[in-house]
Structure 1
Amino acid sequence: YIYFLTITFIYIWGAFIFRLLFIEPPQPNTDLQGLTDAQIRLPCWYQPEVDQRMVQVTWEKVFPNGTSKQIITAHFTEGIKAVENSDRVTFETYDPISESSALLIKVTKVSDAGVYRCHIVTYPLGNFDRTIKLTVWSKFHTLHFSDDLVEGQAFGVVATCRAVGYPKPGLSWDTELPGYSRNHTGEDGKTFIQYSLHPLRSMNGKKLDCLVWHPSLKEPRRVANHLVVQYPPDPIISSSPSNWQVGLQKAELVCEGRGNPTPQNVIWTRRGEALPDGVSVVGEKLVFGRPVQLNDSGTYECMVKNTVGSGKTEFRLDNLPQQSLVLIIVCAAAGALFLVLLVVILVVKRRHLRKTKKLKMEDEISTLSRQASFRRLNSTGSVSRIQVSKNHLVPQRSETNLRLALGSSLGGANQWNKCNLFCFFLQDSGLPSSLVPLKVQQDDGNGHKESDLGHLQEDDSVVESSTTEEHEDDEGRSRHHLEGTLSKMFYESNGVLRPRENPNAILLPSQNYYKPQLI
């Protein structure tokens, strides 16, 4: 039992010591991956102690059945010796005994995969080994292609993506096209994937990328591709400008082919007749090199061809309006609009003036009414009812002269206002219009006489010869109204105006009534 423990302790201690003596790899067994056609380094570096000597290092390939095959050897006296494939394998350093003993495989092949052993011979401790399991991944190759597609073909394979590698790579599609995907796996690390659909022109240019998955890649590799679908032209005609008329300059029709491949052959014709003079074809355009005429009307046809097929469309040019007629219509519309605006402005202005005049007259009448009311309140005399004498006459002007005098006072706007104010004062003075004396009696205090109604003030009787015609109608109506009113109040007898009798009249004593005033 003591012997067994001693041996175990020595083994563990020796393994620990040996582990410290191996700089790389630290573990007895190591897994390593590499790619084909690339250089691979198999690490092995033993550092002996001072009292030890490294005699020989040998690299061997171990087969699954347990046998081994020597690849390269380095002896401290005989040097380096490669058994086979000396052009493909070598030591990392020139002195693998005292330095690193790593093995380099310059051009790795898939057949290089396997188990390799680094065998170290020392004195006096003996032999030590490091085992490395090598996995070789082949660099995959991808081949992506899609067939030439034509619109209208039957459902079938439209794209194929191939990849070769070890381990076998995985393939997938990245697309939004409606179709069917199928994977195929072959020998020697070959695999491919196919995509099938029914080609339409709307699929042209759509993304159809192939994604390659492999352990040697951190993320899938994308092989970009876009689907190509050929289809015959589907032409359309556009005009510049959009509205045509007789006399239009620099007019042209443009025929857009809209086909894949791009149409190169564009043919312009006019149905039933030749193209008009002065009209030429420039590429896909039909250019009018002169002003548009009325006889340019007709149906213009555009035919477009490509390698897949042809397409045809037409543009009808008729009912061309004349430029002068259009101009007349526009000018007439503008003139009518201007007249409407002018009439509206005049009507609004006239209404404004009439309203302003009316408000001004009402304001003057209101002012005069307030003044008359104040005079009545401030009067000290009392009013008594008296009987008027039939002999109380106004022996001055006749009714005819009074009409003329009053009519002459209407020559202007100011005179008309004075007459209105005077008539209003007669009504607002507290006396009936039939009892207002036309001639004022002498005042007791002063003995001063006022002129009677027949003798109007001199400045108020002057006829304005420059009266404008626009007031004549208003003056005539006002004069007629005033004459009618005065005829009800007075009558003419022997060239003298006499007041008409009124049983309800209220007469004031001559010494107590107040004279009417013109304001």
Structure 2
Amino acid sequence: FSNEHRPKSTRMWRMLLCVYADFVEPPQPDTSLRSLAESQTRLPCHYKVEDGQKVVQVTWYKELPDGSKDQIITAHFMDGHTEFGRYSGRVRFESSSPTENSALLIPSTEESDEGSYTCHISTFPNGNFERHITLTVWLLPISSLDPVTLVEGQSFRVAATCRAVGRPIPRLSWDTDLPGQFQNRTSEGGSVSSYYSLHPLRGMNGKKLDCLVWHPGLEQPRRISNSLVVQYPPDATISAVPSDWYVGLEKAELVCDIGGYPKPQNVTWTWRGGALPDGVSVIGGKLAFGRSIRLNDSGVYGCVVKNNVGVGKTEYVLTVAGESKGKTGGSPDDNLLLIIIGASAGALVIILVIAVLLVNRYHRHRNKKLEIELSEKTQEINNLSRQNSFRRLNSVSTDPRVQVHTCTHTHYNKQ
């Protein structure tokens, strides 16, 4: 019956029931929801009844582009539930009592599930009630990054390409300190591409060039990590270990320090433009002398390295000293000890020289003093001797006997 033909008392009773019976969810007649593809989607529908009212049947519909409706699933309070057509096995009621809680679940949502849905509730005795839900299905972006191997000296060109597809269309950006430019292009189907271009230099090799993918379905941008690859020709330098070479030196080496990318794997050594001297072996980037150094090991040594970009070579003029220096050098501690010992020995020698000079000076002063005293004593003795001689002479002149005798003695001496 229509409302016009219903008894007045019945219409009044229905109005009273409508006051107490209503949808718990969704509260509004029209609701919009978003869901992610390949995730579970829940379409809410819960009609709450009061005493004297009963939900007889629940039916979910999806509106088609031509305006018609496609029946998805139905639940009857006595006959159970039924799934229809292509939805069979893809949808189910959330509750085991769908006439009480009529929410619909889509366990694995597909892009084709996007659209408008209707939850139709049939009650007794109050008739039918509906809720309309518009579902938008987002596709999380599928992204990729295609790096390009560059070579030093090339012109300005693309270094990496980042691509993404999703709903809504993702946004792309770059995280790098490299001096370059990028350009974004959007195509049909919800895909976008970003091209990062620069002028390749060897100092850029290994630098960060990450792509960031932005999408409303992601809590934070997705990072695709990438490092720029710039190849460049090798370079080489030779160093001698140790730096001073002399005849008899042991465990001497020439080291070829190699640059370039990719790093060269093979190193070629030459000597005076030809074969290496005997007793010498190549170990990686080293030229090792397995014997003591000879004078004729002098000469020009060459190191040649190659990679797939170019060739690098260098030369080193080695001069061997003619005389053996024995063990030269030493650790800083040994040198300091030698300096301390030498300084101590020098100080000791200076002290000894000073002591000898002081002693020598003392003895010379003393000898001079003794000479003076001896001279004075000698002069004093000579004076005493003369005085005694004068006295004896005077005494003889007064005694006649002594005089004759003296004369006789004097005469004898003359003879």
In structure 2, relative to structure 1, the CA distance for the partners of 1:208 and 1:344 (3 Å cut) is: same
1:477 to 361, 368, 372: 368
- For 2:39, what is the secondary structure of its paired residue? coil
In structure 2, relative to structure 1, the CA distance for the partners of 1:190 and 1:12 (3 Å cut) is: farther
- The residue number in structure 2 matching 1:205 is 206
Deviations 1:117-158 (A, max 9, x none): 211111112222222221110121001011121111111111
**Amino acid of the structure 2 residue aligned with 1:89:** V
- Stretch deviating more after TM superposition (474-483 or 234-243): 474-483
Deviations 1:58-100 (A, max 9, x none): 11224688654332222224432333322323323444124x3
**Amino acid of the structure 2 residue aligned with 1:96:** P
- The residue number in structure 2 matching 1:89 is 91
Q: Hey, what's the Cα distance between the residues in 1 that align with 2:15 and 2:296?
A: 113
- For 1:212, what is the secondary structure of its paired residue? strand
Equivalent residue runs for 1:53-452 within 5 Å: 53-62=54-63, 68-85=69-86, 86-98=88-100, 100-320=101-321, 322-324=323-325, 340-349=346-355
- For 2:238, what is the secondary structure of its paired residue? strand
Deviations 1:196-218 (A, max 9, x none): 00111111110000011100111
**Amino acid of the structure 1 residue aligned with 2:109:** T
In structure 2, relative to structure 1, the CA distance for the partners of 1:489 and 1:11 (3 Å cut) is: farther
- The residue number in structure 2 matching 1:389 is none
- The residue number in structure 1 matching 2:6 is none
In structure 2, relative to structure 1, the CA distance for the partners of 1:483 and 1:264 (3 Å cut) is: closer
| Residue 476 of structure 1, CA deviation | 3.5
| Residue 259 of structure 1, CA deviation | 2.3
In structure 2, relative to structure 1, the CA distance for the partners of 1:246 and 1:80 (3 Å cut) is: same
**Amino acid of the structure 1 residue aligned with 2:34:** Q
Deviations 1:183-234 (A, max 9, x none): 1111221011110001111111100000111001111111111011112211
More strand by share: 2
Q: Does 1 or 2 have the higher relative contact order (CA < 8 Å, sep 6+)? A: 2
Q: Which runs of 5+ in 1 are unaligned?
A: 1-8, 355-468, 497-519
**Amino acid of the structure 2 residue aligned with 1:284:** G
**Amino acid of the structure 2 residue aligned with 1:314:** E
- The residue number in structure 2 matching 1:405 is none
In structure 2, relative to structure 1, the CA distance for the partners of 1:53 and 1:294 (3 Å cut) is: same
In structure 2, relative to structure 1, the CA distance for the partners of 1:273 and 1:68 (3 Å cut) is: closer
Q: Hey, what's the Cα distance between the residues in 1 that align with 2:208 and 2:375?
A: 105
Q: TM-score, normalised to structure 2's length? A: 0.77
CA contact (8 A) 2:20 2:50 kept: no
Asked which structure has the greater CA Rg, the reply is: 1
- For 2:246, what is the secondary structure of its paired residue? coil
| Residue 350 of structure 1, CA deviation | 5.7
Q: Which runs of 5+ in 2 are unaligned?
A: 1-11, 329-334, 389-415
In structure 2, relative to structure 1, the CA distance for the partners of 1:321 and 1:219 (3 Å cut) is: farther
Q: Hey, what's the Cα distance between the residues in 2 that align with 1:264 and 1:311?
A: 12
| Residue 489 of structure 1, CA deviation | 12
Q: Identity over aligned residues, as a percent? A: 51
Aligned CA-pair RMSD: 3.5
